[in-house]
Amino acid sequence: VTVDANPPLAGRTLIFDIELVGFKELLAPAEPPEGMELATFAAGCFWGVELAFQRVPGVLVTAVGYAQGHQEKPSYEDVCSAESGHTEAVRVVFDPKEVTFEQLLPTFWERAGKNATTLNRAGNDEGPQYRSGIYFHSPEQAAAARRSAADLEAKLGQKVVTEVEAAAPFWLAEDYHQQYLEKGGRGGEGQSAEKGNTDTIRCYG
């Protein structure tokens, strides 16, 4: 690097060690950036779940991937085979000064729908990869998730089968799955991820 702007260093050649942070590390960090928090949710096909959270004010970044399984670096095919043990999930980076974890939960339950009371099924999609779950990153998140699940169970009068577990390693899904509905899917029309948008989310392949 040649520095010309600072007179004492003008014309000198300096060598720096530069650490490049990969784009995927920003999408699904193991630890949140300072002042931010992580949340991980599964509520059926991850395309629609991601778009729902993209629209929430205070959510900074979302990424789809595979959670709570036993295989390292699973592919979509591995997960769909039900052999890897993963569920399709969404990792959310949010600013707790703008939206709290508790305030994210209604968006989760809205997407989970009947999946909350039906094991390993979301709409027409069946299999353990479509099970619902709230995968907490702190004791506070765990307590909030369990309270909300108990409240829903009391309201419905049915057992809620949504998992509430500590977040296990999260593996990013393939690039084409990321922000899939916003980008339009396979030749479809992109759906708005604008904050506060309430348009019906349409899932398509």
What are the residues whose beta carbons fall under 8 Å from the beta carbon of 43, sequence distance 6 or more? 49, 108, 111, 112, 113, 115, 122, 132
Active site residue 80: no
> Closest by alpha carbon to 204, among 191, 192, 186?
186
Q: Choose, from 27, 42, 43, 45, the residue flagged as catalytic.
A: 45
3-state SS, the chain, equals: CECCCCHHHCCCECCCCCCCCCHHHHHCCCCCCCCCEEEEEEECCHHHHHHHHHCCCCEEEEEEEEECCCCCCCCHHHHHCCCCCCEEEEEEEECCCCCCHHHHHHHHHHHHHHHHCCCCEECCEECHHHCEEEEECCHHHHHHHHHHHHHHHHHHCCCCCCEEEECCCCEECCHHHCCHHHHCCCCCCCCCCCCCCCCCCCCCC
Active site residues: 45
